[in-house]
Structure 1
């Protein structure tokens, strides 16, 4: 038997996630040689992703709000996108030593697919051929859920529009989705003016590093005034919703495009609504909402690694991380809602690269 550090889902939150209350670190044990796999695999976890959408999963099973994501089950390990190496396998498609990515538990050792309570519709695990120069943890961010979300939506709707556009605005831009969009947009059209917002001097520095033309701190500058000065906006990538979406709506160019990726302003509450919905029809705007792997944008998924891996190796898409230990996973899950992480929030479980 060996120690198997685990993050359990302990209590449904009513507001923000509370480390040590909502989720708890416990030390369990596992027999690496005889733990039942039931046709699956045993994975030594390397890194796990902390993402804002996880808050939507922290709800009662009969609560259908945010049904796009499966609820977490009280008393069971928290699960999310992660990476690791196979140490035992009963799956003919995966062998010992394979580097895999997919839905794993926040544990030192994770059994896939795990108990039926966690075999939800997002469950998957696949082998990845990782170039040695790319750290394993990058597959939780730029080459993981965040990068895939940014790529499939922008490639599907943003790229065609960007060819004839002058200005892109990205909110919540210093996170892994936002920086990806800022950089990939410049790959699609080097002449595109990129406006981007973030909430701290450190994050503004990141925006400058990724080539943003007009970075601004929304806590210190009026968003509507910045957009009015540098707009109109042809494409708005929305990561936050709320008052920022309202400011964007009144500064959109006619026939502009809005890609709705996230609503972090509403993740812990019911949000503050939208006061300028009429601008959508008055300006003949197109709005595309999406979740990863569904709808029209899903067709871009098979090309993700083929397109993005070379861009990372060439330095055209960059990565940055804010690392947490497994014991700090609760802090990592909270940080993405408070803007405390600088770079991708990733939980490093082991150094087995």
Structure 2
């Protein structure tokens, strides 16, 4: 049987800690043809990719293989990989059959084998998914995937009780994937909260305001001045770090809580917190976490049971996506979550017909 073209995004050189990932410099789109009938799957499955997720943490994976970090590196000359949804083409695993729709950790390629030949240390079991009528399969990369799991796990672990006694929640990157989920979930479980959110464009700010959020453009408005007017804050969900974290620290009530979810403002650079002393002056509790581990792992037992119906009924929307078309736009999608180009969850649509 003739080989089938298999465009694959491959990691070819380390970008270092400064700047964005560049196409044909740090990653390349290379055709690695595949024999769909005879490619060894070694007891696993052969997958056709439908959609892939671009997430801020991935920038930390483009590094030297021996550099310590909270997530494993991608190895040079290996495909870039992350969470994805797809369809089983061929299976040697009794748990899956051809045609099954699945969620797992996919190579940035049209076709890939699971488990991969050279895993990077990420153990994410492949699981079947059932489409929700009226919603695309990419919803499993957003509120029903890593994005929702991240927001839900940390909320249940750190904020369930705190939110009941609080008045004000501040969320940075409010139009991004996690920010969107946290805002919508807060409106369901803590509707009394006043929600303040920042975003990087007037379009995103307008979208947040339509959802009943006090929103501002952090690029054109001073976060400290906004929080002085709209605060003080009791909970800060931090997706970005940097100057907005410094502004939040100056505008906390005593005994506030920070959920340190990300620091995309310095993912490709270094920065320091100027107002760190406010943490002890105001008795602020800071919770850092990694998805699916530590204190945020136990809530995953109830994630699908609670969040699935909220998405199915529209109380949490599966429609806030920023779609990138095909693997040819993978680099743009990888950078978008750091430059602020994306408005909603960044997803790469590899097979439009499969959605």
Per the alignment, residue 203 of structure 2 pairs with: 202
Q: Deviations over 1:193-232 (max 9, x none)?
A: 00000010111122123331x1001111110111111111
The TM-score normalised by the length of structure 2 is 0.95
| Aligned ranges 1:165-204 → 2 under 5 Å | 165-204=166-205
Equivalent residue of 1:54, what SS? helix
| Aligned ranges 1:300-319 → 2 under 5 Å | 300-318=299-317, 319=319
* Separation in 1, partners of 2:71, 2:120: 13
* Separation in 2, partners of 1:60, 1:248: 34
Structure 2 runs not aligned, ≥5 long: none
* Separation in 1, partners of 2:312, 2:101: 19
Per the alignment, residue 289 of structure 1 pairs with: 288
**Count of aligned pairs between the two proteins:** 348
Per the alignment, residue 86 of structure 2 pairs with: 84
* Separation in 2, partners of 1:220, 1:55: 26
Structure 2 counterpart of 1:21, from 16, 25, 37: 25
Residues 149 and 291 in structure 2, CA contact (< 8 A), matched pair in contact too? yes
1:285, distance to aligned residue in structure 2 (A): 1.1
Residues 132 and 312 in structure 2, CA contact (< 8 A), matched pair in contact too? no
1:131, distance to aligned residue in structure 2 (A): 2.1
1:21, distance to aligned residue in structure 2 (A): 1.7
Per the alignment, residue 60 of structure 1 pairs with: 64
* Separation in 2, partners of 1:192, 1:130: 32
* Separation in 1, partners of 2:347, 2:190: 30
Per the alignment, residue 278 of structure 2 pairs with: 279
* Separation in 2, partners of 1:145, 1:216: 26
Equivalent residue of 1:275, what SS? coil
Per the alignment, residue 45 of structure 1 pairs with: 49
The 1:308/1:209 distance shift into structure 2, 3 A limit, reads: farther
Residues 20 and 330 in structure 1, CA contact (< 8 A), matched pair in contact too? no
* Separation in 2, partners of 1:55, 1:88: 32
* Separation in 2, partners of 1:119, 1:74: 11
Q: Deviations over 1:26-45 (max 9, x none)?
A: 22211111100011111111
The 1:210/1:180 distance shift into structure 2, 3 A limit, reads: farther
> What's the RMSD between the two structures over aligned residues?
1.2
Per the alignment, residue 264 of structure 2 pairs with: 264
Q: Deviations over 1:180-199 (max 9, x none)?
A: 11111111111110000001
* Separation in 2, partners of 1:222, 1:85: 46
1:134, distance to aligned residue in structure 2 (A): 2.3
Per the alignment, residue 235 of structure 1 pairs with: 235
Per the alignment, residue 346 of structure 2 pairs with: 345
Per the alignment, residue 121 of structure 1 pairs with: 122
* Separation in 2, partners of 1:209, 1:21: 41
Structure 1 runs not aligned, ≥5 long: none
Per the alignment, residue 102 of structure 2 pairs with: 100
* Separation in 2, partners of 1:73, 1:209: 43
Per the alignment, residue 149 of structure 1 pairs with: 150
1:73, distance to aligned residue in structure 2 (A): 0.9
* Separation in 2, partners of 1:255, 1:310: 33
Q: Deviations over 1:270-291 (max 9, x none)?
A: 2x20111111111111111111
* Separation in 2, partners of 1:52, 1:31: 33
Q: Deviations over 1:113-171 (max 9, x none)?
A: 1112x241344311123323321111112221111111111122122211111000001
